[in-house]
Chain A
């Protein structure tokens, strides 16, 4: 029941004596010219609400057991008393302050720990309001540093105003240390809103989103769990329900899936707002758990505008960013959602704003050579032929002919559509690549964000004089590198060369050794 003591990280420095001066042992850059007296005065304990929040957090699982009669209420009472005492000790031992150019957190009942997070190590400051925080009117502040996979500085309960003030102080001080030209002293202009989601749009996002795929997963799980019994039950269904019953059941499942998708989307993206604050994006979202993430623009490696089949039919798209390092809790497949749904032009305008470039909206994409279309058609015909042959050997040749005709329509349609999706161009120093049949993905990657390049050719691509150019970026796991699929081999080769010259151009002036 002792409070969890986090293992010391690089930024921490356990100190047995709280009064010992520690600034001397830390090499800090000279303090900023103007005194931030307000900043130096910040600090104190957590919000007293922690005294209520911690014991309840611990007792909640037990409470459920008591309600179902597994545990007696006396045990719960004793537990609550102990937990309350432990929480009080923990509360009394916990303090934080801003001192000597760093956020300092002292904590620990038995193992005392002092963690010092210098401003210039801070990567992001996140304010999280889970349900329990909202019930008690407090906010949790999470301070992340570069590297490391856990939250380095965690203030579990702060007053709302205090938390906001802390965040703005930490971010401003960090920017000062990084030499970012912060408009110090001036009142901050209201942050421009780059994108937001209305409730109506959320509804559409839920109805057209990839979360419909959840249904397929559920069916898959059911099949795993029930196995053969499910299949037998499905075979018997026509007899039990009749044709009308099956149609009704399918409709009911569809409605439930849509509802689930709408609810999930609404809960996750309620009040979704993206604002720009100097060199970062602030992404706010969430119904039950309100999140506010800060994404420094320099960490954005590429922006993707994605359309699935349904959304494409309505001219809608979602926007995601590939982010280096941790994606700030807003992860979805290694990317950060910048906008769950918007009309196409609005989506591209957001991409433009995030990358700070012009002319992406109307960029004319060059198609890939017609040999790429031929490749896809050949592949489709080969697939249909193999499938028809399989049917022919197992059922009969009349069935094979029918299957061939039935399959060739979607196969050839898919091949043509998949070719039509391909396109590429360069606008204002941004490589644009488009591909994808089921999800059409237009990727925007600034040339200087490309890390390494690769030109790959399969045997069939070599026959057709085609190649695939990969623009490899510093992305997170789960994302994908921007790729120019089936580009003309000669063009791909010359792009490889010209881009390689530009991704990391030599510096004009030799910089002094040891810098950077």
Chain B
């Protein structure tokens, strides 16, 4: 049984990146969103009387959307790191605002894995850990499904110490 106190040779050390497939997933999602916005802009262009040449709005939205959809997932992926340390889960995320979270294993109440339809296509899962802290569950996207399941099992075995709740 894995406990928080074990040196736990199976726990990886060092900062791990997410599965590279998640970057592809984010690109697909961002591209879909950009296309949606472009389509809306196209409708507005076609039917609303704008003081700019026809098609300018659509072009602009498409350009900005393409730039964001290309850059943001890449930055987000390169920023994401996680580490399963001896006593806690360590997460770093964020594009403009960068947040490092530390979630002690012994504060865990329960651990979920989640998988949306697109994620299933890519063979990815999210790991969501819940503590007694309000609305601050740790969220680890872009794990290989088998890795996520394995992690959930191991984290669920840690003896909790949820005091006074």
Contacts and interface: CB of A to CB of B under 8 A. Distances in A.
Contact of B106 (A457, A462, A506, A510): A506
Nearest to A468: B99
A511 B100 contact: no
A325 interface: yes
B96 interface: yes
A381 B72 CA distance: 31
B29 interface: no
Nearest to A301: B164
B164 A476 contact: no
Contacts of B96: 458-459
Interface string B89-107: 0000010111111111111
Interface stretch (A110-118, A304-312, A363-371, A497-505): A497-505
Nearest to A478: B134
Contacts of A477: 134
Interface in A266-310: 298-299, 301
A516 B100 contact: no
A394 B131 CA distance: 52
B161 interface: yes
A250 B103 CA distance: 53
B107 A451 contact: yes
A474 interface: yes
A516 B161 contact: yes
Interface string B11-28: 000000000000000000
A457 B97 contact: yes
B3 A510 contact: yes
A324 interface: yes
Given A452-B131, A472-B134, 9 more contacts: A452-B104, A455-B99, A458-B97, A479-B134, A496-B100, A500-B87, A500-B88, A504-B107, A506-B106
Contacts of A506: 3-5, 87, 106
Contact of B161 (A454, A455, A504): A504
A452 B102 contact: yes
Contact of B87 (A456, A474, A501, A511): A501
Contact of B102 (A454, A473, A475, A510): A454
Contact of B100 (A301, A454, A507): A454
A324 B100 contact: no
Q: What DSSP secondary structure best describes chain A's contact surface?
A: mixed
A516 B101 contact: no
A401 to B, nearest CB: 33
B128 to A, nearest CB: 13
**Which of A453, A458, A473 is the most central at the interface, judged by chain B CB atoms within 10 Å of its CB?**
A453
Given A299-B164, A504-B106, A454 B136 contact: yes
B136 A472 contact: yes
Contacts of B164: 298-299, 301, 324, 449, 474
B87 A454 contact: no
Contacts of B88: 500
Contacts of B132: 324, 451, 474
Q: What DSSP secondary structure best describes chain B's contact surface?
A: loop
A448 interface: yes
A308 to B, nearest CB: 25
Interface of A: 298-299, 301, 324-325, 448-449, 451-459, 462, 472-477, 479, 481, 493, 496-497, 500-501, 503-504, 506-507, 510-511, 516
Nearest to B96: A459
A451 B131 contact: yes
A455 B100 contact: yes
A367 B115 CA distance: 45
Contact of A504 (B98, B104, B133, B165): B104
B102 A474 contact: no
A508 to B, nearest CB: 9
A324 B102 contact: no
Contacts of A481: 133-134, 136
Contacts of A497: 102
A452 B103 contact: yes
Nearest to B90: A500
Contacts of A454: 99-102, 136
Contacts of B161: 504, 507, 516
Interface in B109-165: 131-134, 136, 138, 159-161, 163-165
A289 B142 CA distance: 54
Given A324-B164, A516-B159, A452 B134 contact: no
A500 B98 CA distance: 19
Interface in B50-103: 87-88, 94, 96-103
A500 B83 CA distance: 14
A462 B99 CA distance: 11
Contacts of A510: 3, 5
Nearest to B89: A452
Going nearest first, the 7 A-B pairs with the smallest beta carbon separation are: A474-B132, A451-B133, A504-B106, A472-B133, A506-B5, A504-B104, A298-B164
B88 to A, nearest CB: 5
B3 A475 contact: no
Contact of B160 (A452, A479, A516): A516
Contacts of A299: 164-165
**Which of A472, A476, A507 is the most central at the interface, judged by chain B CB atoms within 10 Å of its CB?**
A472
